[in-house]
Amino acid sequence: MERNLMISVHRPPHGSIYVQEAIEVMFIFASYDINLSVVFMDDGVMALKSGQDGSEAGMKGFMASLGALVDFEVENVFVDEESLKERNISVDDLVSIGDDFDTDVPVYPKVVSSAEIREMMDKQQGILPF
């Protein structure tokens, strides 16, 4: 039986360690035989905006970790379309989550609607919110 687990990132990337902790949990669960999905929504979509640097605020950098998700076979990464629009973030602003193994083409989170996210959440055995 395939186990489905979703990590949902709701909080903004700066001012807390939630995004960094979520990424660390992604890497841990990626090593198990679990169908892992990750969804960025609400203020969590700001973690996917390229060009961020939290070092001035004393925050540990997480952008390199996001860019390695594909290397750890975390490829089911989604971002809520409505949350992007509400924060004036375009699809072109999103950071790559790694490069395709075969083509070396950058892979980006899949933009989906809130309704699609709800459908995905209904199919999970567990959801870990951050």
The more confident residue out of 100 and 66 is 100
CA distance 89 to 25: 25
Residue 55 confidence (pLDDT): 54
Instruction: Read off the CATH number of the domain in which 90 is found.
Output: 3.40.1260.10
Per the structure, the count of domains in the chain is 1
Q: Which domain holds residue 117?
A: 4-129
Enter the pTM of the model: 0.88
Token output for 103: 């083509």
List the end-to-end C-alpha distance of the chain, in Å, as a whole number: 26
Residues with Cβ within 8 Å of 117's Cβ and at least 6 positions away in sequence, in order, are 39, 41, 78, 80
| Mean pLDDT of all residues in 51-59 | 58
Helix or strand holding residue 5 (H, E): strand 4-9
pLDDT class of 66 with cuts at 50, 70, 90: confident
HSE (CB half, 13 Å, CA atoms) of 21?
A: 13
Please count the other Cβ atoms lying within 10 Å of the Cβ belonging to residue 57: 8
